[in-house]
Structure 1
Amino acid sequence: MSTTRTRRAALMAATVTAALVLAACGGSDSDSGDAGHGSSHGTSTSPSADTAAAHNAQDVSFAQGMIPHHRQALEMAELAADRASSAEVKSLAARIEKAQDPEIKTMSGWLKSWGEEVPEAGASMPGMDHGSSGMPGMMDDADMEMLGKASGEDFDTMFLTMMVEHHEGAIDMAGTEKTKGRYAAATAMADDIITGQTAEITEMNKLLGKG
């Protein structure tokens, strides 16, 4: 609970201190080298005849955890189309959707091939509710409600601050998969997530005036 309060306080402070930075950024480098990296961590891997081949419990855990994690990122990104004021934020959100939606489909295919449960849309796996998921970087319901009510520069700052934390969580989860996973396609996706989302964190921190 204290972590949630701390995050919320930090978000409110960031909204005040970073708004001018975002306003000053307007369209400066949205077409730079960063523009293409969001899709770089989208994997082209699709379920195939050997999908049920060598995999372990970590691979299953990775897919079952990353699917709801990605879904929340998409939920956040979808808000940006109507609420963001910065072209850079809108571009980033669109790239996040483009990269992560196919990954959800790919991971769902793996789980089906393995005979494992696929997390339902709008629901988390048992014990993985937003506020008490144990999945790093997940926002709780109050965070999502606060983001949903924000608009303009306040939304931009809140979105970027939350998404940095969300990406850091995904990178942590992907690192565990790289270390302990067995299924080659899953560890390759984990590597792509680390590479792509690390680059996006750098981009977001720059927009927040931290880079």
Structure 2
Amino acid sequence: MSVSLSSSQSAAARRRGVAAVGTVAALALTLVACGSSDDSDGSAVPGTRHGSGSASASATPGGAFNDADVKFAQQMIPHHQQAVDMAKLADGRAADSEIKELAAAIEKAQDPEINTMKGWLTSWGKPLAESSSSPAMGDMPGMDHGSDGGSGMPGMMSGKDMSDLEAAKGKEFDKQFAQLMIGHHEGAVTMAEDERKNGANADAKKLAGAVVTAQTAEIEQMNKIIARF
């Protein structure tokens, strides 16, 4: 049976509908604001597969922190910086389109994460990693890319690794980049797993989770790339 509404009744119904939509939208915004700092599973990866922790983790994290959180930030900053430096070398050297895209994703993701972790250390009143050399540029003689070489940062490249990568071009660069970045990512995953196990700060553990998720996926991707060579 069809029921006709008067113009006044229709207007009232429309007003009630608009009010309901406004209430739902306000509630959604409230939930997003609350969830952005409490979701610590580290699974959100905006944009690319890589490194979404920087987009969701606060630069000034609240809550308790411990020595493991401080160590994670102090060591992951130079570790990330070296990955960014490696990724920048792809410009003008890489031939494989997938390597180019991967390098761009690494640079885009890890630069903001570096700034986020620097913000944490500042808010915690802790210094950046103390070193007169630049581990980001591989200035650590004798350090093998598959181990920490005594630095406490597994996966860091040696100076020779970085020099060899800089000198390579085309398919040779692509192969070296994938091989070296796999070892570098494996080191980052190890460090992030330690943070997830031993850290106390929710934001730091969330970023660690994002590192594990993203870089594990990229390791698989780079293994497939290498298999093509």
Q: Smaller-chain TM-score range?
A: 0.7 to 0.9
CA contact (8 A) 1:41 1:197 kept: no
Which is worse superposed, 112-121 or 171-180? Answer: 112-121
1:36 matched to which residue of 2?
48
CA contact (8 A) 2:185 2:219 kept: yes
1:176 matched to which residue of 2?
194
Task: Kindly provide the amino acid, as one letter, of the partner of residue 73 in structure 1.
Answer: A
User: Does residue 86 of structure 1 match 2:96?
Assistant: yes
Aligned pair partner of 2:115 in 105, 108, 111? 105
Between the aligned partners of 2:86 and 2:172, the Cα distance in structure 1 is 14
CA contact (8 A) 2:140 2:159 kept: no
Indicate how the Cα distance of structure 1 residues 40 and 53 shifts in structure 2: closer, same or farther if over 3 A, else same: closer
Between the aligned partners of 1:83 and 1:116, the Cα distance in structure 2 is 38
Aligned pair partner of 1:59 in 37, 44, 69? 69
CA displacement 1:58-104 (0-9 Å, x = unmatched) = 00000000000000000000000110011110000000011111100
Q: Within 5 Å, which residues of 2 pair with 1:10-159?
A: 36-48=48-60, 51=61, 53-119=63-129, 123-124=134-135, 129=140, 131=143, 132=149, 133-159=151-177
1:29 matched to which residue of 2?
none
TM-score by length of 1: 0.76
Task: Kindly provide the amino acid, as one letter, of the partner of residue 186 in structure 2.
Answer: E
The one of the two structures with greater contact order (alpha-carbon pairs below 8 A, sep at least 6) is 1
TM-score by length of 2: 0.70
Indicate how the Cα distance of structure 1 residues 41 and 115 shifts in structure 2: closer, same or farther if over 3 A, else same: closer
Identity %: 48
How many residue pairs end up in the alignment?
172
CA contact (8 A) 1:52 1:110 kept: no
Task: Kindly provide the amino acid, as one letter, of the partner of residue 50 in structure 2.
Answer: G
CA contact (8 A) 1:41 1:196 kept: no
Which structure would you say has the larger Rg?
2
User: Does residue 195 of structure 1 match 2:209?
Assistant: no
Unaligned runs of 5+ in 1: 1-34
CA displacement 1:153-173 (0-9 Å, x = unmatched) = 000000000000000000000
Question: Once superposed, what is the RMSD of the aligned Cα atoms?
Answer: 2.2
Indicate how the Cα distance of structure 1 residues 121 and 204 shifts in structure 2: closer, same or farther if over 3 A, else same: farther
CA contact (8 A) 1:43 1:189 kept: no
Indicate how the Cα distance of structure 1 residues 121 and 194 shifts in structure 2: closer, same or farther if over 3 A, else same: farther
Unaligned runs of 5+ in 2: 1-46, 144-148
Between the aligned partners of 1:79 and 1:117, the Cα distance in structure 2 is 29
Higher helix share: 1
Task: Kindly provide the amino acid, as one letter, of the partner of residue 48 in structure 2.
Answer: G
